[in-house]
Structures are given as structure tokens and as C-alpha cells.
Amino acid sequence: MLMEKPVYVDEKLREVLSSGRLEYRSKALPTWCPGCGYFAIVEGVTAALNDMKIPMDQAVVLSGIGCSSRFPFFVNTYGFHTLHGRVLPVATGTKVANESLMVIAVGGDGDGFAIGGGHLSHAAKRNVDITYLLFDNGVYGLTKGQTSPLSAQGFKTTTSPYENPDQPLNPLMMMLSYGASWVGQAYAGRPDHLKEMIAQAIAHRGFSYLHILSPCVTFDKTNKTYVNLGMIVRDLPPNHDPTHRMVAMAQAEQADAPALGLFYQESRPTLGDNLNSLIAKAGGDASAKPDRRKGE
């Protein structure tokens, strides 16, 4: 899984400077540990927004709580750093309030699948038109290394000092069965593919779930490391049919060999579409501006 061609610092710098993507980076320096996979995700998001020419003031990035959830501070868009586990309902409110905003929700594996687990199914079934980037490092980093619902069984942490007695959830199986209309997986160790997947997830109209495997270099030296992940990740088979949910589930089931790419995609009305048709049924005017502002 090495990158196809060598990368030289000066070339990369020139490319980054000329691309315009630095405009999407805020002036705040990321607070992550050196080597954290999340740096690649910031790069991926800023590059995707830049490539897609999404205006910064039309984009909102919301997050929960955790290492990953500091993310909004590092991009130059509107942002809301909310509560632990609650990014999806907050993002749903933002999108319902103003359909024209491009909304990205980000959070970690503990934020999304432990405390916030109850919201996943509802955001997915409603098909609220947002992109959910889940940063999975399999450990609670910000609180210094406790077990997460995606930690491997047997993993030793400060709260499971002998070993983690639980088996991890299978997030992709869950999101596929909840009815997410776009489900994909990427790896922070493959930044070009990651950027491509982020752009696709944003472009999808409906609820897109992108699972991003990313090592925690500080609190996980045994499981999701660059070395281990690098050895087990694989591409989806070239003939994978992303319109077939059961085929996608068969791929997702192989958690020991995580596949990267687009597992599943379907096109169906979003929450916004459905609320608009409900307004039409009631005889209201769906185009009534949410903005009540007095003439400026």
C-alpha cells in the first residue's frame, strides 16, 4: 500500500501553495500529536472543498467532542464544536434551518458509536443531506487512552488494564443496515484516495457516511498502527457493485481486512425534500425564506 510515486517536499509545497487550498485552512495550528492520521483528513477536506469550489461562507463543519472534534477550528469555514456525541442532531438542525448550506459533521469513534450511537440510525434513515466523517482510531485519545466501542477485543487501555472484554462494533454493517444512502471507507495512510472519497461523500445528495481509519500514534501502539493497518487494508474488488446493499454488507463483514472505497450508494429523497413535500401537502410555501432579516 505504498504511494505510487515518491513525494518531494519542495514540489508538494509548490503544489499546495498554488492550489488555493490553504485558503480553506484556518490560522489555528492543529492540536494533534505529530504523526496523527488526522492531519491527512484536514488536508483531504480542504483539498476537496477547494477542488469543488465550495464557498467558505456556505460551508459549515460541526463536530462533537474528542481529538477529532477539534477539527472545525482548523478549517476556514463556519464551524460549531458541539457536545460529546451530539453532532448529528445539531447538524440536522442546521441543515433543516438552511438547506442551501453545505454541512459536514465530524467526530471520533467514541463520539459517534458510544455516547452518540442512538443518533446514527435516525440521521441515516432520515437521509439528512449532510456528510458524516467518522475518524476511527479505536481509542479515546483526548482523555488519554481509554477503550472505545471500536477498540479491538483484548486491547489494553487505562480503563481495561487487563484487556478489553468487548468485541468491537462493525460500523459499516451498522450504517448499511440503518439505511445510509452513501457508505464508504478510507484510510489516513492513503491521503490521495482519502481526498477523493471525501469529495465523493460531499457530492452525494443525502446522508453520506465515510469511515476513516486513522492511527493514534500516542495511545495505540498495538492495534490500529500505520504498520498494522497498512498491512491489512485492501481495495474493494474492481467489480464491486455499489448499488447492491447485500454485496456491500458481505464486504463490510470482513472486518479483519478492511476494504477501502465506496461500499454502497443509493439515490432517494432527502429529509429536506420530504419536509418540502409535506409543506406542499399542507398548502404552505416551502420557499418562504428562513431568513427574517430586515432589509440590509
Binding site for other proteins (CB under 8 A): 26, 28, 56-58, 60, 62, 65, 72-73, 76-83, 86, 88-98, 100-101, 118-119, 121-122, 271, 275, 278-279, 281-288, 290-294, 296
Class of residue 18 by CB neighbours under 10 A (exposed 0-12, middle 13-18, buried 19+): exposed
Q: Minimal distance in Å, beta carbon 71 to other proteins?
A: 10
Q: Minimal distance in Å, beta carbon 12 to other proteins?
A: 26
Cell of 100: 442551501
Class of residue 249 by CB neighbours under 10 A (exposed 0-12, middle 13-18, buried 19+): middle
> 12 vs 122, which CB is nearer to other proteins?
122
Q: Minimal distance in Å, beta carbon 240 to other proteins?
A: 32
> 86 vs 205, which CB is nearer to other proteins?
86
Query: Residue 102 and residue 55: Cα distance in Å, rounded?
Result: 9
Inter-residue contact 48 to 197 (CB < 8 Å): no
CA dist 250 → 172, 173, 183, 207, 241 (Å): 10, 9, 13, 21, 11
Q: Minimal distance in Å, beta carbon 213 to other proteins?
A: 26
> 129 vs 220, which CB is nearer to other proteins?
129
Based on its alpha-carbon atoms, the radius of gyration of the chain, rounded to whole angstroms, reads 19
CA dist 6 → 2, 3, 9, 21, 233 (Å): 9, 7, 10, 21, 20
Q: Minimal distance in Å, beta carbon 45 to other proteins?
A: 14
Query: Residue 120 and residue 224: Cα distance in Å, rounded?
Result: 23
Q: Minimal distance in Å, beta carbon 202 to other proteins?
A: 16
| Cα distance between the two ends of the chain | 55
> 237 vs 284, which CB is nearer to other proteins?
284
> 98 vs 218, which CB is nearer to other proteins?
98
115: Cβ–Cβ under 8 A, 6 or more apart, which residues?
A: 84, 85
Query: Residue 171 and residue 177: Cα distance in Å, rounded?
Result: 10
> 178 vs 226, which CB is nearer to other proteins?
178
Cell of 117: 450511537
Which residues sit opposite 229 in a β-bridge?
none
> 111 vs 220, which CB is nearer to other proteins?
111
127: Cβ–Cβ under 8 A, 6 or more apart, which residues?
A: 179, 181, 206, 207, 268, 269, 270, 271
> 121 vs 225, which CB is nearer to other proteins?
121
